[in-house]
Amino acid sequence: MSDLHPAGPHHLPGFITAPSDTDPLMVGVGIFLIFAVLMVGIFYLHLHSLPERMAHKSQKFQFEIVAVLCLLALFTHNHLFWVIGLFLAMVDLPDFSSPLRRIAGSVEKMAGVPPEEDPTEPPSETAAHAGTGVPDATKPGAANSTLKTTAAVDEIKSKIQRDLRRGGPGHA
């Protein structure tokens, strides 16, 4: 600091540096600015994905529509898409396809036509269970046969217990 002009003040504030020194205030402000821009960007993207996260627990079709609307809002900077996606994510759309599918299956069963495979369901594993002799739990009658078997086992147990209390089988 001996190179100062004689007309200048002899005591300078700490944020004023010599011509060849690093300015610590500018470095600190630069680091803070980079950090602030990154945090605002993360907050913006987190807020932008809010409708998608809300619709994630809903139906697949509704989730896909909300995701497309959010992407359109992100790339076009049209906030109306984001607002529509947010409202759509908040509303629980009724499930019309399941009752209609059940009605169609019942009508097919009444007509004697074998029901078609549901494209939204995974393929049944009939080939895997064919050689084992174990009824497939995904078949419509499997739960009914399991209930019948359980009822038959319970009936046999009650008969055995009754016979044991009477002193053996054949004593009436």
Task: Yes or no: say if 135 and 145 are a contact pair by the CB < 8 Å rule.
Answer: yes
**How does pLDDT run across 44-101, given as a tens digit for each residue?**
999 888 898 888 887 788 889 999 999 899 888 888 998 999 898 888 877 777 888 8
Can you tell me the mean pLDDT for 147-155?
Answer: 77
Find where tokens 């599918």 sit: 101
More confident site: 42 or 139:
42
Exposure class string for 76-93: b at 16+ Cβ within 10 A, else e? eeeeebbebbbebbeeee
Question: CA 134 to CA 168: how far, in whole Å?
Answer: 34
* pLDDT attached to residue 141: 57
**How does pLDDT run across 5-50, given as a tens digit for each residue?**
777 777 777 777 777 888 888 999 999 999 999 999 999 999 888 8
* pLDDT attached to residue 123: 64
Binned at pLDDT 50, 70 and 90, residue 127 comes out as very low
* pLDDT attached to residue 59: 79
Runs of H (alpha helix) within the chain: 24-48, 50-55, 60-76, 79-90, 97-111, 126-130, 142-166
Please state the pTM of the whole predicted model: 0.47
